Amino acid sequence: MRKVVFGIDLGGTHIKAGIVDRGGEVLKHTVAPTLAGQGREALLARLCAIIADFRAYSASAGLLPAGIGVGTAGYVEPLKGRVAYATPNLPGWTGLQLREALEQASALPVAVANDAHAMAVGEAWLGAGRPYRDFICVTLGTGVGGARVIDGAPDYGSSGFAGGFGHMVIAWGGRPCNCGLSGCYEQYASVTALLRLASEAGLRGEALPDGAKSIFALASAGHPAASAIIAQYAEYTAVGLINLAHSLNPQAIVLGGAVTTQGDALLEPIRRIVRERAMPIYRDTPIVAAALGNAAGEVGAAKLAWNRLSSG
């Protein structure tokens, strides 16, 4: 029988999951709402229901489930598979022994990581990170997350919490952040921040039927305020990338998150600012868009499951 693993990407709003083979092919994919407000037990039950569905599908399709990988929002101790801290977006998740809970429920080996770490592993395995031995991934979404990947594996740091790029302070005394600091990078480079810039310029509601996408559509149609917003957002985003290039000297920077599907309309101004302002020895760090889109998290989680199996 063909061995497979289940890769699960648990975000604040959606759970994306796939049955993934050894080569990274997604044989079945599903999406479910997280409904985190219903609490820890309900969310664990929802994960178990997805696993049960995948099991049933595998049995009917002649597939042999060998393990599970989970990338979850929150700060994870990867060796223990424990969520050390999750924001109130996932009530009850802080302190959860997620690996243990899912191993008991499924009787399969489980690997658990932070969702941005999992996404970066996906990009390293089959996406934009493939050509690079050492790169960083920065995800621009509701917040800003990330990971450094070396030889295909995330750099977890001493406890598992490395990659908190969104909470680098880039503006001392700047905008208050939900982490308790002020001036954090994600207050300037997240999509939330992009939409706030637009709102401050009078672009909101009906002017942006597709949210951030509409800002790019307006700019390409010659709307000067929209172009100015993107220029400002690119500048903020570039400042953080310059900090990361200076401190980590990666071979490349992979930008993820739905906004990066705008491609060069966003990436070119960012690249230009990095070229102009980074120290000369760092200026040519390639900045590329993530390639796996929405699937990166579940594919990366699956890869972590495969890695756990091959390491015994």
- Binding map of Zn ion across residues 115-144, x = CB under 5 A, - = no contact: ------------------------------
Closer residue to Zn ion in complex, CB, 179/265: 179
Given the rule CB under 5 A, which of 76-84, 183-191, 224-232, 284-292 is the region that contacts Zn ion?
A: 183-191
21: left (phi over 0), alpha (psi -120 to 50) or beta: beta
Could you give the residue ranges of the DSSP H alpha helices within the chain? 40-61, 98-106, 115-126, 186-189, 191-200, 212-220, 224-248, 264-277, 296-310
184 binds Zn ion (CB under 5 A): yes
Q: Minimum Å distance from CB 167 to Zn ion? A: 4
Q: How far is CA 280 from CA 41, 135, 242, 252, 284, in A?
A: 52, 19, 11, 15, 8
Least Cβ distance, residue 210 to Zn ion (angstroms): 28
Look at residue 30 and give its three-state secondary structure.
strand
* CA 275-280-285 angle, 5° bins: 55
The smaller minimum CB distance to Zn ion, of residues 148 and 167, is found at 167
Tokens representing residue 114 in the block: 């932070």
Interface with Zn ion by CB under 5 A: which range of 95-103, 130-138, 170-178, 213-221?
170-178
Residue selected from 16, 82, 167, 303 as contacting Zn ion according to rule CB under 5 A: 167
Stretch that binds Zn ion, among 21-29, 91-99, 123-131, 164-172 (CB under 5 A): 164-172
CB of 191 vs Zn ion, minimal distance in Å: 16
Is 177 a binder of Zn ion (CB under 5 A)? Answer: yes
Residues 6+ apart with CB under 8 A from 261: 289, 293
Q: Which residue has the tokens 């599903």?
A: 30
Angle of CA points 40, 102, 295, to nearest 5° = 85
Closer Cβ to Zn ion, 176 or 211, answer by number: 176
What six digits make up the tokens of 162?
């490395």
Among 32, 179, 217, 309, binds Zn ion (CB under 5 A): 179
Phi first, then psi: give them for residue 91, nearest 5 degrees: -60, 135
Q: Map the footprint of Zn ion across residues 215-244, applying CB under 5 A.
A: none
If binding means CB under 5 A, how many residues of this protein chain bind Zn ion?
Answer: 5
Structure tokens at 130: 């493939």
The site string for Zn ion over 17-56 (x = CB under 5 A, - otherwise) reads ----------------------------------------
- Nearest distance from residue 189's CB to Zn ion, in Å? 12
- Whichever of 189 and 230 has its CB closer to Zn ion, that residue is 189
- Interface residue list for Zn ion (CB under 5 A): 167, 177, 179, 181, 184
